[in-house]
A and B are shown apart, each in its own frame.
Chain A
Amino acid sequence: MFRLSEIEHTFRLPPHRLDRPLAEAIKGELESLFVDKVIAYLGLCISIYDIRSIDGGFVFPGDGASTYTVKFRLIIFCPFVGEVIAGRLIDSTDEGLKLSLGFFDDIHVPVSKLPQGSCSETDPDNKGKVRWMWNYGDGQKFPIDNLDEIRLRVHDVRYPKVPLEQESSSKNEEESSSKNEEESSSKNEQKSRSKKPFAPMEIMGFLDCDGLGPISWWV
């Protein structure tokens, strides 16, 4: 689930950090730069493990701060494909499940990767949500709920590209159609459904295997 990666980074050390010894000041600046950020095709940075070397300290003309080149190691969260991890259910819709590890919320299990013979029921408590059930042959149904941890196998780790532009054209459309209230409201509904906040890193999970799914199924 976790691993180390060695990084070299050249950056400007702002002078307000200089009230601490240099090594600590640099560590503080690195933490604000990297911790809790996703590096594409590497993973989510958890913490600065250690600092290997500090070079430089050059002050560029016209700049009120020194620039350092630092080699350091980061603790990276990036489960490998095929790894089994345990998370908790945070969302269950007709598109599949969404699970969370507490510090990482973008784990998706699409419908095609649910246990074979899964069926959904509309959730009476939450509008627009569904409850997934595993239909185990002889009429027994096992619900997937957030009562206990769910084990999943990592199927794929994706790093979607950062969207460059807001969807301005669709906004205009919305304005033009605002005269017809019914139409716009139905469109809005569709939009809110398809609209997902951008996630720089997504883990696709897999549940269709003996031993995967809520722990209570197997223990």
Chain B
Amino acid sequence: MASSQEHTVKAFDQDIGQLRGLISQMGGLAEAAIGNAMLALQRGDHELAAQVRADDKKIDAIQHEVERAVVRIIALRAPMANDLREVVAALKIATVVERIGDYAKNIAKRVPQIESEHRIDPISTLPAMARMASDMVRDVLDAFAARDPDAAIAICERDDALDDFYDSIFRTLVTYMVENPKTISQCAHLLFVAKHLERIGDHATNVAEMIHFAAHGTPIAERDRSDDVATSPFSSRS
């Protein structure tokens, strides 16, 4: 992405370093938020859920810090070429990571609404899906830190597996609702949780695309998805 050489004006390197540090920090918080939200959901732990919601404010605050840093760098350093692309990518990545944090918060918000005494079985498969999503977030931000567009592209490939996971959970939950209407409310919440996790994967993919753009100045060639688009009404791909 950037050349190995330092800028003649060293303070510029410090500014970029600070920006990258903020993104890593945000990513760490978002990843923790997903993990804690799912843990709270699994255990019916309202306190932990409340903590996730409170911690989301930290992610929002860092996002604003990133915005200020980017505006300052553009105004004071007039970045060009790969520097400019990286700064723009950082701004967009911060927005995306903030959205990921919102999804985790949204999952946490559902915890108190799910009756803990009649917890249905699919709730036990959701954490595996969450790990998959949260690993994508962690790895894509590692790729950003390492300025490694190839690693970023590899993460996009994993989004299909996450989509398949969502489809399977969708089917299971619909079956539950049909068989036992009493679970409809809980299933609806879990369906949203699964959808949020699926969206988190999409956002990780967006981050990967920005890392590619920052490195090469071109968008990732559109992956060929014609073979699996809308094959079932449960498909998460639209």
- Please determine whether chains A and B interact with each other in the same assembly: no
